[in-house]
Amino acid sequence: MNKLAITRALANIVGAPFFVVIPENAEQISQVVKLAREHHLAIVPRGAGTGLCGGTTPLAGGVMISLTRMKKIFAIDYENRVARVGAGLVNLDLSNALAARGFFYAPDPGSQAASTIGGNIAANSGGPHCLAYGVTANHVLGLEIVLDNGEIVWVGGEAPGAPGYDLVGAVIGSEGTFGIITQALVKILPLPEEIRTLLAIFDSVERASHAVSAIIAAGIIPAALEMLDAISLRAVENAMHVGYPTDAGAVLLIEIDGAREGLDELQTLIGDICREFESRELRVAQTKDARAELWRGRKHALPALGRLAPNYYIQDGCVPRSKLPHVLAEIETIAKKYDLVIANFFHAGDGNLHPNILFDLRQAGAYERVIHAGKEILQLCVDAGGTISGEHGIGMEKMEYMPLIFSDADLGEMKKLRAAICPSGLFNPCKIIPHGASCAELFSNNLSRALAASGDMWI
């Protein structure tokens, strides 16, 4: 394949990298970064690629660094409750490795069976159990990072609350724009003595939403508090057969855990609150397998929607819990306005919504209607006192919506921080912060540099 053929092929695939490397350690990544910088090529780190906001899409082409081989568990210190792991380690694999000793890693994004620790950190991922345990940022103590000059550094460490700038906090959620995470020191927790999973069944989303606020207002913080609406319930049950009621308007999937003593009273109190808001039934999973089935349905809700439409666009707004009834009603209005079906399953306990807009891309005008609906949903969340992302991040998807929540001065300070940590601007360009340069122009420039750097080698 000659350079002319490569140029024509890649020019038609904006969003494809020019080179992909799969290193095994930070030293190899350092060498790649130095080489890429020498030729001024964009550098995009990638874990499992499960992100939902285009955070790992290489809009400027360049070099993609896959971290999938860097999945080693280097050390587990049960006494001090910390583990040192490679950035490419799959989230669930860490908890599975800890289970035999009675420990687990708390952050559990819906993609935890595939997503990697490094990617979770880059996006500051959430998950159902982050209501009680906190998001990824609450569980990271230190990071090994490759900077844009190829230097390998550690920030943070096993001792929490060290003086000085919180550089770990700056890197978490930076989506690969500050550096490439290669290792992480993370907190591990002992498994609770007992876990109970409840399914509260309601005839309407409104009543279920009021119950959510009432549970938290009563001073109860469940380990998880999830909601699925009627559309999601039918799709999941038809696909997974986990025992969800297909005639309900909504369900709350509630999990409580901790010391065995006291859980009976807590379960009774939750049941009383749900009945106050007209829950018609409260089911309690009687076995570990029954619990797993209820969660299997929730974790597979997104793929189950594929039975209803060939395409989906999932949003990730966050609102105060008390605004859930209003916001969900308005989302239904938006669906009718644009003649769309929107299914909702989400982290109700912390107000993190996931409206799933279902559509068929082959229908004329469908894409445009979906984009307009998505923008209105995010504006709705902001107007309700919320924000445009609860856990998915900004990536390329929500850059243009950043001014909804940040002023020009805010965004200007973010750009200064980014430039201070990554002076070259080569790490994951065209992400998070709106910018003046065209990504298509960056792609074209990177393509020219890539071809010049490659000599006669194949790409």
pLDDT at 451: 64
Least confident window among 191-200, 371-380, 440-449? 440-449
pLDDT at 290: 96
- pLDDT for res 457: 46
pLDDT at 459 over 50: no
Q: How far apart are CA 425 and CA 173, in angstroms?
A: 17
Judge whether 90 and 113 are in contact, CB under 8 Å: yes
pLDDT of the residue at 454: 59
| Tens digits of residue pLDDT in 243-282 | 999 999 999 999 999 999 999 999 999 999 999 999 999 9
Residue 246 and residue 362 in contact, taking contact as beta carbons nearer than 8 Å:
no
pLDDT one-digit tens code per residue, 388-418: 999 999 999 999 999 999 999 999 999 999 9
Residue 49 or 161, more confident: 49
Confidence category of residue 4, pLDDT binned at 50, 70, 90: very low
Give the whole-number percent of the chain exceeding pLDDT 70: 92
Residues 6+ apart with CB under 8 A from 352: 126, 316, 317, 318, 346, 390, 391
Q: Per CATH, is 80-190 categorized as 3.30.465.10?
A: yes
pLDDT at 66 over 50: yes
Contact between residue 410 and residue 372 where contact means Cβ atoms under 8 Å apart: no
200-247 pLDDT, tens digit per residue, is: 999 999 999 999 999 999 999 999 999 999 999 999 999 999 999 999
Q: What integer is the mean pLDDT of 66-75?
A: 98
Topology of the domain covering 309-397: Alpha-Beta Plaits (3.30.70)
Q: Which residue has better confidence, 446 or 247? A: 247
Higher-pLDDT residue of 2 and 302 is: 302
pLDDT at site 8: 45
> 6-15, 143-152, 369-378, 387-396: which has the minimum mean pLDDT?
6-15
Task: Answer yes or no: is pLDDT of 11 > 70.
Answer: no
**CA-to-CA separations, 313 to 113, 235, 296, in angstroms, rounded:** 21, 16, 22
- Report pTM: 0.91
207 vs 445, more confident: 207
Residue of 405, 400, 411 lying closest to 387 (CA atoms): 405
pLDDT above 60: residue 3: no
pLDDT confidence of residue 452: 66
Buried b (16+ CB within 10 A) or exposed e, 375-401: bbbbebbbebebbbbbbbbbbbbbbeb
pLDDT of residue 36 exceeding 50, the answer is: yes
Same topology for domains 3-67+411-454 and 309-397, yes or no? no
CATH 3.30.43 given to domain 3-67+411-454: yes
Q: How far is CA 146 from CA 121, 137, 449, in A?
A: 15, 19, 22
Residue 79: pLDDT over 80: yes
What's the rounded Cα separation, in Å, for the pair 377 and 222? 27
* Domain range summary for the chain, segments of one domain joined by +: 3-67+411-454, 80-190, 194-301, 309-397
Pick one of 3.40.250.10, 3.10.450.630, 3.20.20.70, 3.30.70.2190 as the CATH number of 194-301.
3.30.70.2190
Mean pLDDT of the chain: 93
Percent of the chain with pLDDT over 90: 88
Residue 345 has pLDDT above 70, yes or no: yes
Predicted confidence at residue 115, as pLDDT, reads 96
Residue 224, phi then psi, degrees to nearest 5: -150, 150
Q: Measured on CA atoms in the order 201, 203, 205, 206, is the torsion positive or negative?
A: negative
Q: Is the pLDDT of residue 446 over 90?
A: no
